[in-house]
Amino acid sequence: MSGGLARIALFAYRLAGIALYPLASPYLTYRGLKRKEDPARRLERLGYASLPRPRGPLIWAHAASVGETLAIMPLIRELRRRQIHVLLTTGTVTSATIVEARLGRKVIHQYAPLDVKFPVKRFIAYWRPDACITAESEIWPTTIAELSRRGIPQIRVNARMSDRSFDRWRARHSLAEALFEKLALVVAQSDLDAERFRDLGAWPVIVSGNLKTDTDPPPFDETVLAHYRGQIGGRKTWAAISTFDGEEKAAATVHKALKEKNGQLTVIVPRHPERADAIETMLKEEGLSVARRSRNDPVTESTDILLGDTIGEMGLYLRLTEIAFVGRSLTHEGGQNPLEPAMLGCAVLSGPNLQNFRDAYQNLARKGAARVVRDVEMLAKAVHYLLINEPARRKMMDAGHETMQEMRGALGKTVKALEPYINPLTVTARLQPKPKHKPKAAAVR
């Protein structure tokens, strides 16, 4: 694609957004009915603020979903320590719940505006960010253009580029260059990610490692954990976490294959809890007894599956087991984050499709902390082996702890790279007089 065609493509994208804008409100209403939007905060997606802008420097941080939100939290805490206000936008209801639980009033949370001219302009004009920091991989052309037009630095942190995304952008190199050259700085997870961003026109690009290695372990309620441990007693357990469609069926197959030998409890934590009704129906059709966390169902000796259908309790589920299969890797592509189970001392299993977390899995596998299984049969054999072989299980768990310690340090490297942008804001923030009265909340229009 030539430079001229790239400009035409971007113009067509913006024009299409303007033309479809009248349908935005019905579209958001429909998504609200599907529980994919918060109906009470629907207007935030159209760029209308529901909270006041504080005085002083403000950085707009964007994290699309749960994984990106968790990754950027250590950086947000560092910015707040420097007295810089942080406006954090996310794109999903689940991630908004995580922000409320883990950051509370430390940040201003809003839902990200749709990547359409009117919402984006309205959003930027109200919040007037001094810089924009986005996590990982999302590219929104209209937002990039509007920030660039106002001279607001755009920084990508914890940046990664999947095989599929790189192939798509490379096939449209001029379009990619027209967007990526507007980024003031890219801080990549790995050397491969950095090379890909440079190839697509980003500059400068540095490597920091994965911010997720510097996150705190996921929290848990000690009373709830003790409650479930008491109900589980001495039963063996294993977990299938962050599962996608088809992987719950795989976990059920594994459970049935091993039940007579081990009498184990299987914990299933779907990536999207709204699928829980369909998952429970499938499990019951398989002849399995299901206890749902959202209903506080008791786990008895006859319970086959504990269905973790709640948001923000991964710390609970992972502390109930020492073996974790990480989903979106067996029946779907890309993989999910293996660092949380490794951090909490779980032996990690994964399917072969883990492109989005290749570097993390390579580090874990090199130390013997993670194993890749090709299919359901191999998964069943791996789970059985780890359930009955405590020395092998402990060896994988210890290797996970060791790997996590070696991988830490991404936060310090990221902050150092950001210093030219955040140091002046820190000085301004510390010189800012403290407001005597809290500002009134902005009206949502």
Q: Strands of 141-283 (E only): list them.
A: 154-159, 185-188, 205-207, 237-243, 265-270
What's the CA gap between 103 and 109, in Å, rounded? Answer: 10
Please say if 340 is a catalytic residue. Answer: no
The residue from 37, 44, 68, 247 that is catalytic is 68
For residue 199, give the 3-state DSSP assignment. Answer: helix
Q: Enter the DSSP assignment of 439.
A: P
Question: Whose CA is closest to 375, among 339, 346, 349?
Answer: 349
Separation of CA 102 from chain center? 14
Whether the CB-CB separation of 109 and 41 falls below 8 Å is answered with no
Question: Distance between CA 361 and CA 42 in Å, rounded?
Answer: 38
Give dist(CA 272, CA 282) in Å, integer: 16
How many C-beta atoms surround the C-beta of residue 189 within 10 A?
26
In the block, tokens 């973790």 appear at 308
Q: In whole angstroms, what is the distance from residue 180 CA to residue 174 CA?
A: 10
Q: How far apart are CA 145 and CA 10, in angstroms?
A: 9
Pairing of strands 58-63, 85-90: parallel
* DSSP assigned state of 372: E
Distances, alpha carbon 266 to alpha carbons 238, 357, 406, in Å = 5, 25, 31
Q: Where are the beta strands (DSSP E) in 191-340?
A: 205-207, 237-243, 265-270, 290-292, 305-307, 323-326
Q: Residues for the chain: how many in total?
A: 445
3-state secondary structure of 323: strand
For residue 293, give every residue at least 6 positions away whose Cβ sits within 8 Å of its Cβ, in sequence order, or none.
306, 307, 308, 309, 310, 313
Q: Could you list the active site residues? A: 68
